Amino acid sequence: MTEDSTSDHTSAEDTAARPAANVDTVEELVRKQLSTALGGPRGVIEAAVPTAAFTLSYVITDELKTALIIAASLAAVALVVRLVQRSTVQFVMNAAFGIGIGAAFALRAGGGEDKDDGALAYFLPGILYNTAYGAVLLLTVLIRWPLVGFMVGAVTGDPTAWRNDRAMVKLCSRLTLLLAAPCILRVAVQYPLYEAGEVGLLGTAKVAMGWPLQVAALGAMAALLARGRTPLHPSPAAD
């Protein structure tokens, strides 16, 4: 199947709507949507490399600004390559945004007597983000409006129809909990390291618990999805 040159400029709404045309079950839809969200192996690398480079550079040079420059430079190179290839910059921009926020925290904290404070601050936004995102995911499950359900609703064209099907609500709740699990684990491991001032261990944990942990969670989601055949469009009789 081929696409013309305008495909790179397709809107997010069009991209999200595409899977609905050739899937019949919630399981198929979520598999396709999550695959798109990951960005493939390249998206994984673009997200992980700058953080790994920052950690390694800081441990070797003990220079905060040098580590930040190296991380930012790698993200910039990835962005230029994407632009030259006229491919989506979504995933590299996500990484660049994270680096920018981390750098702002790090530079602000790096002026104190303990220069490790700046390096530690680089990781603080990620910890805060995972805390907030994990809490939101758990809340949507508790109030029986699981976040994955809105993913289904965005594709079917009816944001709330999925709630009429108990099986779909149950499935979406389980999937949302699996999405929340990496966030909870990251905070549980990384926050104590942050409090202890362990820059090297914290950087290692951030890389190891980044995309690898996300992929593991998605593997668990794939296993759950492989067992079910929940209709994408609930029966009109379902209440």
CA distance 163 to 165: 5
Other Cβ atoms closer than 10 A to 190: 22
pLDDT tens for residues 89-111? 777 787 788 788 888 888 777 65
Residue 173 confidence (pLDDT): 93
Across 2-29, average pLDDT: 49
Task: Say yes or no to pLDDT of 232 above 80.
Answer: no
pTM of the model as a whole: 0.69
CA geometry: angle 95, 96, 100, nearest 5 deg: 120
Tell me the range of 102-111, 114-123, 184-193 where mean pLDDT is highest: 184-193
